[in-house]
Amino acid sequence: NAGVTQTPKFRVLKTGQSMTLLCAQDMNHEYMYWYRQDPGMGLRLIHYSVGEGTTAKGEVPDGYNVSRLKKQNFLLGLESAAPSQTSVYFCASSLTAGTHSEPQHFGDGTRLSIL
């Protein structure tokens, strides 16, 4: 089972460039999430989706956009990259987020550097 797959694994961008990070899951999960992880800080939620065609803002959404056109895919876009967006980006998915909380399953991360 592939689980959650993120592409690319590494990327270096120049300030002002744009790019899209792709997340794909094969577990038929409804919920998908994009986080960033910075040294000395907890994972911070950027955007999330509770189902195909839906998206919502998380804690740190500014500078990012997302789309969930297909249930298995969740795309994260940076329209004009800034050095402050240098981070490790994790995608995660879960079956539900209800009272019988299912754990989130994470991809291997994308290491993004903005010069």
Partner 1 sequence: GQNIDQPTEMTATEGAIVQINCTYQTSGFNGLFWYQQHAGEAPTFLSYNVLDGLEEKGRFSSFLSRSKGYSYLLLKELQMKDSASYLCAGLDSNYQLIWGAGTKLIIKP
Per CB under 8 A, contacts with partner 1 among 57-76 are 58
Beta carbon of residue 80, minimum distance to partner 1 (angstroms, whole number): 27
Contact with partner 1 (CB under 8 A): which of 19, 22, 45, 95? 45
Contact with partner 1 (CB under 8 A): which of 14, 42, 62, 69? 42
Question: Left, alpha or beta for 54 (phi > 0: left; psi -120 to 50: alpha)?
Answer: beta
Vertex 51, ends 38 and 73: CA angle to 5°? 60
The residue ranges that bind partner 1 (CB under 8 A) are 4, 40-45, 48, 58, 90, 97-99, 101, 103-109
